[in-house]
Amino acid sequence: MKRCTVKEVRKWLRTLEENRYKKRYISDARRIAWFINNNLSEDYGTMPKSLRKKWTKAQYGREKYLAGRFLEALTKKETVKIKIKEMVKEEIRRRFRAKKKK
């Protein structure tokens, strides 16, 4: 799987209904991107210091949840793309066969 960028995450966050009237911070998008690129890792010690929350007892549940939702949305998007490509290929084959018969 290719690495996810912060820009992609920020763009996706704008589409969510719960973030419609909320200010979206870049730091949240950076944390979400880190979780996505590290397979929803539980090892917060490997997280860069710039991404860690200041409070030592902070939880990252929200970011992990959003990272999971992003991955689900990404897989749905990919499956739709694959289905569309298959439909287009089948239509091209069908038309090619029809031309060949004439």
Residue 31 lies in a domain: yes
**17 found inside a domain:** yes
Q: Tell me the H-state helices in 1-102.
A: 6-15, 26-37, 61-101
Quote the DSSP letter at residue 41.
-
Is 93 within a domain?
Answer: no
pTM for the structure as a whole: 0.69
CA nearest neighbour of 4 among 35, 26, 25: 35
State the average pLDDT for the chain.
Answer: 86
pLDDT tens-digit map of 39-49: 887 777 888 88
Decide if pLDDT at 84 tops 90.
yes
**b/e burial code for range 18-31 (CB count within 10 A of at least 16 → b):** eeeeeeeeeebbbb
Q: Is residue 12 part of a domain?
A: yes
CA distance 40 to 24: 21
In a domain, 57, yes or no: yes
CB 26 within 8 A of CB 10: yes
**Residue 101 domain-assigned?**
no
Q: What are the C-alpha distances in Å from 94 to residues 85, 87, 97?
A: 14, 11, 5
Domain assignment present for 89: no
What per-residue confidence (pLDDT) applies to 1?
63
Number of domains making up the chain: 1
Q: Residue 65: which domain range?
A: 6-76
